[in-house]
Amino acid sequence: MRALRLGTSWGGLLSGPLAWAVSTQLNYALVPWQCNRQVPVVLPVALLLVLLSLLGGALSWRAKQRGGAAFKPERTRGTERFVANLGMLSALLFALVILMQGSAALILDECLR
């Protein structure tokens, strides 16, 4: 709970790639199901995972604003700030990638072979 309140510098570094990996796997797994049932689920799942990625970036931003919530004596504040910046940018990058992959559902028919 403390990490959610104060933020954590590595939040975006963890959430972005994790959300992208889940998105990629779900895209492959859900397309046959979506084709059989004609229920669009790929785009809503992609939007949910974009939100997850951006929430990790928000944790990194919060940690940067606080000066590094995960500040440890062996790390300098400069390191925490760098990791927080990298986490924010990584979360944003992966959110855009997930959004682009999910937006293909708007253009392509799920039953194309």
Q: 12 with 59: CB under 8 angstroms? A: yes
Residue 69 confidence (pLDDT): 47
Residue 40 confidence (pLDDT): 86
Instruction: Please count the other Cβ atoms lying within 10 Å of the Cβ belonging to residue 61.
Output: 20
Residue 45 CA from chain centroid, whole number: 12
**Sign of the CA dihedral with 17 first, then 18, 19, and 25 last:** positive
Residue 8 confidence (pLDDT): 83
Q: 10 with 60: CB under 8 angstroms? A: yes
Q: Could you read off the pLDDT tens digit of each residue along the chain, which spans 113 residues?
A: 665 555 788 889 999 999 999 999 998 898 888 888 888 898 999 999 999 999 999 999 998 888 754 555 556 778 888 999 999 999 999 999 999 999 988 888 777 76
**b (16+ CB within 10 A) / e for 21-59:** ebbeebbeebbeebeeeeeeebeebbeebbebbbbbbbb
Domain that holds residue 12: 1-112
Q: Give the closest residue to 97 by CA, choosing from 22, 35, 39.
A: 22
Residue 21 confidence (pLDDT): 97
Place of tokens 């949910």: 48
Q: How many domains, in total, are found in the chain?
A: 1
